[in-house]
Amino acid sequence: MLPDSYPITPEDLEETVDRQQVRLEEGDVVLIRTGRMTVWDYPQRFLQDGPGINVRAAQWLVEGHGAMLVGADQATVEYQPATDVSGHYLPVHLYLLAE
């Protein structure tokens, strides 16, 4: 499981794609596995300070690789608390919904 509040970056995604020897294509569904489901039975742990993608990673997936849908094994898809866009509680959600 990734550490609490870990922001997954484009560099992390590139490393994962290379390590898993996969290729992202236009229209793909991308599912991010953080390992957070291992604490599903502990709501206070599962719902707070989750790891997840940051806005740059979302842009890398959508603009760079044409991802159609992004999901994750944690509550918000993005890391929490998200700090990469000031004043927005769920900046990855806002970006993905707009795009």
Q: Tell me, what DSSP letter sits at residue 21?
A: T
Amino acid at 62: V
Checking if the pLDDT of 99 tops 80, the result is no
The more confidently predicted of residues 66 and 83 is 66
Stretch 62-86: mean pLDDT: 93
Stretch 71-89: mean pLDDT: 90
Neighbours of 63 (CB within 10 A): 11
Report the chain's C-alpha Rg in angstroms: 13
Reported as a single tens digit per residue, the pLDDT across 22-58 is: 999 999 999 999 999 999 999 999 999 999 999 999 9
The more confidently predicted of residues 87 and 41 is 41
Rounded distance between C-alpha atoms, residue 10 and residue 53, angstroms:
8
